[in-house]
Amino acid sequence: MIPLQSVARSRHAVSMNSDIDAHPLAAALAVSDELAQACALHGITLPSLGPDLASCTATAPPRQLIDLGRVNMDTARRLVAVLRRSAGRGGD
């Protein structure tokens, strides 16, 4: 089992471009935080966003999956609008 204190310390030191194999859970937590912050810029909250713990401790691929979780219809529509705008296809 990985001590939570070491995960908390190392998650801040891991970035998307660092070696994800050295600290798989910390890397997944860091990416989850980055995604949450990016969504927040658009007023979107994914309440269940976080690393899939089973995949972060797996020894074989696929590894480090991010669980986006379930969202209500309003959040899903806002997410669709943001993605469409970013693709240059209009928001509504």
DSSP per position, 1-22: ---HHHHHHHHTT--TTS-TTT
- Residue 4: its pLDDT value, please? 47
What's the DSSP call for residue 17? T
- Residue 10: its pLDDT value, please? 46
pLDDT truncated to tens, each residue of the chain (92 aa)? 444 444 444 455 555 445 566 788 999 999 999 999 999 999 999 999 999 999 998 887 778 999 999 999 999 999 999 999 999 866 55
Q: Which are the contacts of 83, defined by CB distance < 8 A and separation ≥ 6? A: none
